[in-house]
Structure 1
């Protein structure tokens, strides 16, 4: 049994790659996809994969918060990054109308350009959405027939929103948010109806440390880590009422299907 964490922010300086990766592999998290959130950080994400190409992969994209920085050069850079086999998706892209660090107009432009790029390159999209669900779905519907799929990263919505993503052919990325019975109540209800063939697991480390996880601040300084993905998996298995081995096999199969990740043949220590 091994796991893949489809969303880790290794470009955040709170995560020291070497010790965090070593702890992840020790916890049988053998594959990690590093999230690209801006032009510069997407470049950094790809650079990080080159030192551990069997364990680390990356996405290339511009988060809605950085949409105001998006221009034709950005698009060229993302296209170039995506030519690397280590880059497995376009994103993190989408809409975030909660704080509007970039204007809605800038976000819509950057998102649509990245959807077009994903269609051109036939790569899946790694999606972000907050307080912009209807607008996001409308734009995804526009390109549905040309997209090769994607994942609603760090999904925290309700059953109806989940169903809409599923109808469009997307996978659902579940984080430690599901471990919080209060904040994650709607999500916990939703995933009881989630087909296991559409489930992906992620930590979104160093964010979203799972509630109920034992305190280990001397080791992790209070951050979330990919090593904690099996804890999230156990919670998800309980909520979905499935055996942990069944959940594991489904998640690995789903990850390989969407992102084209290679099968891990050896699970040697890091």
Structure 2
């Protein structure tokens, strides 16, 4: 894989080629998704051109976690730097068994893996029954304690139960981030009271459903806030130009950062720098650099 250059290409319209005033970390990029199979090098090149320096590739099941680790290894020493998470998403919780637990435990030993997850609870769709979700999440909480890695958590319409489970484990786990937070004020403050981190996406850029988040972003302390695209999902709806195929990608993270800075009343460069520093500390990215 060639070293990416610092130039955009024709895929992004000029109106969407925004460069962050300070380096960014995208803590949630699903780059093992099939939609990136044919142009991943260009996607990474555009991320670099947008000043996105680190990407954490989300592992939502064994297959995608292994792919994320392999991708991070192939890209070692290049920019942007790639890391991986390894977990089982609540949608797939019914598949949890001892064999899967062993595979996750082995993945968590790999130096490219910087968090346990994506794991958690999703009572919105219930693709796996709630009892199966809780069982798989409880097991992965145990793996996080065993490995010492932070948690990368998914929660949708399950804030009350999530808080109950996390309170029971809070003294044993290290750090945890609730990624792609979309909940209400009481849930947010419950997470903050547990000293959890919060990941925000382009959901805030959606005029149909992001309004309540705009009122909440100022409640998140700067040292608890991180940014993510969750690409290829959650393309910001307020971009100034249309995008081919409407696939979200890391090069668009500066638009999310600018939107969040606006609603917090922050300077964009200050927010970018602060959230990146928080992300590097949380995922111990400097330590990962040394190990690899």
Q: TM-score, normalised to structure 2's length? A: 0.87
Do 1:60 and 1:92's aligned partners in 2 also have CA atoms closer than 8 Å? yes
Which of 222, 233, 242 pairs up with 2:266? 242
RMSD: 1.6
Tell me the distance in 1 between the aligned counterparts of 2:54 and 2:242. Answer: 23
Equivalence for 1:268: none
Q: Deviations over 1:40-79 (max 9, x none)?
A: 1111111111111241100000000011111111111111
- 2:151 matches 1:128: no
Q: How many residues align?
A: 263
Do 2:148 and 2:173's aligned partners in 1 also have CA atoms closer than 8 Å? yes
Q: Which aligned pairs between 1:29-108 and structure 2 lie closer than 5 A? A: 29-54=52-77, 55-108=81-134
* 1:203 partner SS: coil
Do 2:160 and 2:187's aligned partners in 1 also have CA atoms closer than 8 Å? no
Unpaired runs of at least 5, structure 1 = 266-270
Tell me the distance in 2 between the aligned counterparts of 1:159 and 1:135. Answer: 16
Q: TM-score, normalised to structure 1's length? A: 0.94
Unpaired runs of at least 5, structure 2 = 1-21
Do 1:159 and 1:189's aligned partners in 2 also have CA atoms closer than 8 Å? no
* 1:40 partner SS: helix
* 2:114 partner SS: strand
Do 1:53 and 1:86's aligned partners in 2 also have CA atoms closer than 8 Å? no
Which of 29, 32, 54 pairs up with 1:8? 29
1:180 is displaced (CA, Å) by: 2.0
Do 1:4 and 1:30's aligned partners in 2 also have CA atoms closer than 8 Å? yes
1:216 is displaced (CA, Å) by: 4.4
Q: Deviations over 1:73-106 (max 9, x none)?
A: 1111111111111100000000111121111111
* 1:30 partner SS: strand
* 2:286 partner SS: coil
